[in-house]
Amino acid sequence: MLKKIFYVLLIIAGLMALTIMILYFWFKDGGMQKYVLENYGKPAIKNDYLYDIVYDGLGFNQEKHVLVLFLNNTELRPGGGFIGSYATIRTEKGTPHLLKVEGTEILDNNAVSFVDTTPPDPIKDYLGVDKWFFRDSNWSPDFVQSAKKSLELYTLERGVSAKEIDYIIGITPTVVQEILRITGPLTVGGMEFNADNFVEKLQWEVEYGYAKRGVKFSDRKKMLQDLARMAFVNFGRDFLRHNAEFIELAKEMLREKQIIIYAIDPLMQNKIISGGWGGEIKQNEKDFILWADANLGALKTDLVMERELVYSLAPTTSGKFTAKVSMKYKHTGGFDWRTTRYRNYVQLFLPLDSELIKVDGAMRYEKSKEPAIISQGEENGKKWFGTFISIEPGQTGELSFEYYLSPQVVKMIENGEYELLVQKQIGTVEHKLTLNLDFGKNIIAADVAEKPENFGDSSYKVSTDLRLDRVFKVKLD
């Protein structure tokens, strides 16, 4: 089943990511000579947090245990993607030892009789699950909170080395795809796997293609083993030639939240947060948006969903500002073995004092005539509003939240200094992002700048993407 696909993806992604970080350590700041260890003493490279994290995580200071979560971002969850598989790794003096790798459903099924934790309401309502299992643990879009919950449930379910875990690392399939863009395609059994077809082709061949090739059901895993072996051969062969690309890729995947890290040790966690690799909800006193999607029972449909996040605001005669955040969805897939109607629970995170006016596009369930359920709460110093939307294959859909802007943001506009942070969801690839902000007063300067044809008025119009977190600063007259 699909769990076997997740196993090989996890092994390739996790070990390749570890290999990249190990080799980063070797080549840091211009040469292997800086990695010369005397009795495994620490080289004198100062003020490099990533170096410190890699050094500690690889067990050079002392033995470490790492829980690796495979976050399948073709099935988005608030904390990056459905945790279809996981691995537990022990590291010592730079050498990783794989203790366990398996599908999360195995651990969860073994724990059914003694797990009694209650899941968030959307998991109960839209998945029909009445217990909170490890596979669903990353419900928070803040990876710090998700990682803590993952470890809590992993421990409750008696996972291997649960009480010894030092680091939790989340990795998405995007990491594997980007590695293949550097190494080039892999050919196994006459079949080519490349960055564009890797995930889909692998799923197809393991689930259906093996029978057409005359391979026994019991032997279909051999292709996965051959594929993993070839991937490591190619990676090892190409590293010296492309080391700068691999090192930059590791940094890029961290910036884009395709690799995300949490450390139990507060000192190392502070370094992770300072480096921007922790995936936490950012704390600020400015304007803020984080839109988090949760695929609930829609297979791998996020693979075929196109998104555009649109944010607008305008002054009212009462001195308030109305704001509207919308997500436009386009479903480009169909009903097949991999995709279906998109069933999505949304949480929108905003400044704490935001006041909801209305929600458009929400529904109780797909095709239900009952009123939609709109929930709200607070998390990590932010106000959130949540609801459900469903989109049929080949159709478009839009969900929007209209609200009064937080008084602290209004005061910022009145004082002529506006700043907005739009934080991307962990695991998302490259949403479109459109801003149309009417401040009711002229714009003097902006970072990011508008197009020249939009200069000279009170409206700030920008179109970009959410490949990274985006910050916008506007100086007003």
CATH number at residue 395: 2.60.40
Q: Is residue 226 part of a domain?
A: yes
Task: Report whether 129 contacts 153 (CB < 8 A).
Answer: no
Helix segments in 63-142, DSSP class H: 104-110, 121-127
Q: 15 and 102: one domain?
A: yes
Q: Assign 107 to helix, strand or coil.
A: helix
For residues 31 and 177, state if they share a domain: yes
Beta-carbon neighbour count of residue 285 at 10 Å? Answer: 13
Is 344 a domain residue? yes
Q: Say how far apart CA 271 and CA 53 lie, in whole Å.
A: 8
Q: Are residues 293 and 235 in the same domain?
A: no
Are 346 and 327 contacting, i.e. CB atoms less than 8 angstroms apart? Answer: yes
56 three-state secondary structure: helix
303 inside domain = yes
Token pair, residue 122, equals 């959307």
| Same domain? 384 vs 251 | no
Final residue of a structural domain among 254, 275, 296: 275
Residue 209 lies in a domain: yes
Among candidates 448, 459, 385, which has minimal Cα distance to 420? 448
Q: Are strands 375-379 and 321-331 parallel, antiparallel or unpaired?
A: unpaired
* Alpha-carbon dihedral 426, 430, 434, 439, rounded to 10 degrees: 40
Q: Whole-angstrom Cα distance, residue 269 to residue 53?
A: 9
Let me know if residue 280 belongs to a domain: no
Range of the domain at 110: 2-275
pLDDT, position 327: 98
Length of the chain: 477
Do residues 56 and 182 both lie within one domain? yes
> In the chain, what's the furthest Cα-to-Cα distance?
73
List the chain residues with pLDDT less than 70: 1-47, 203, 206-207, 210, 216-240
- Indicate the residue among 251, 275, 299 that finishes a domain: 275
220 located within any domain? yes
Q: Is residue 281 part of a domain?
A: no
pLDDT value at residue 15: 52
Residues 349 and 203 in one domain: no
| SS3 category, 390 | strand
Q: Contact 105/114 with Cβ under 8 angstroms?
A: no
- The CB-based long-range contact list for 467-471 (8 Å cut-off, 24+ gap) reads 467/256, 467/424, 467/429, 467/430, 468/255, 468/256, 468/424, 469/282, 469/421, 469/422, 469/423, 469/424, 470/421, 470/422, 470/424, 470/433, 471/419, 471/420, 471/421, 471/422
Q: Which of 241, 275, 309 is the last residue of a domain?
A: 275
Q: Where are the alpha helices (DSSP H) in 160-220?
A: 173-183, 198-204, 210-212
- Residues 406-441: pLDDT tens digits? 999 999 999 999 999 999 999 999 899 999 999 999
Tell me, what's the pLDDT at 66?
A: 96
Around Cβ 4, how many Cβ atoms within 10 Å? 17
pLDDT at site 226: 65
In a domain, 436, yes or no: yes
Q: Within this chain, do residues 373 and 407 fall inside the same structural domain, yes or no?
A: yes
Model's pTM, two decimal places?
A: 0.88
Task: Give how many domains the chain has, as a whole number.
Answer: 2
Domain identity same for 75 and 203: yes
- What distances in angstroms separate CA 188 from CA 12, 164, 175, 219, 222, one per listed residue? 15, 38, 20, 15, 10
Tokens in use for 465? 């993407």
Are residues 351 and 270 located together in one domain of the fold?
Answer: no
pLDDT at position 211: 72
81 and 50 in one domain?
yes
246 and 308: one domain?
Answer: no
Do 316 and 256 share a domain, yes or no? Answer: no
